[in-house]
Amino acid sequence: MKISTYQGENRKPRTAYMQPDDLNSADHLAVLQHTHQQMKVKTPSVAAATSASVGLNIHEGKRKIMKYNTGR
């Protein structure tokens, strides 16, 4: 099953089969990462690229909770 929607200014289609390098926001990371290692690799680059540009901070405590719940 392939799901696609259009989001953002560039109207780029988002699909369930996207590679980690195609992701550009934290909510895409949470939904589309296949392994914990992919999440660990991609999170810092997304945090640096997007959160600072829009004035957001990643809450370290909440990130850890999400990390611990990924093993279920």
Give residue 42's pLDDT.
Answer: 72
pTM recorded for the entire structure: 0.27
42-51 per-residue burial string, b: 16 or more CB within 10 A, e: under 16? bbeebbeeee
Let me know if residue 49 belongs to a domain.
yes
Say how many domains are in the chain: 1
pLDDT tier at 2, thresholds 50, 70, 90: very low
Let me know if residue 7 belongs to a domain.
no
Let me know if residue 27 belongs to a domain.
yes
Domain enclosing residue 25, as ranges: 21-71
Let me know if residue 28 belongs to a domain.
yes
Give residue 30's pLDDT.
Answer: 52
For residue range 4-58, what is the model confidence (pLDDT) as tens digits? 455 555 555 555 554 545 545 555 545 555 676 776 777 777 666 666 677 766 6
Give residue 3's pLDDT.
Answer: 46
Let me know if residue 30 belongs to a domain.
yes
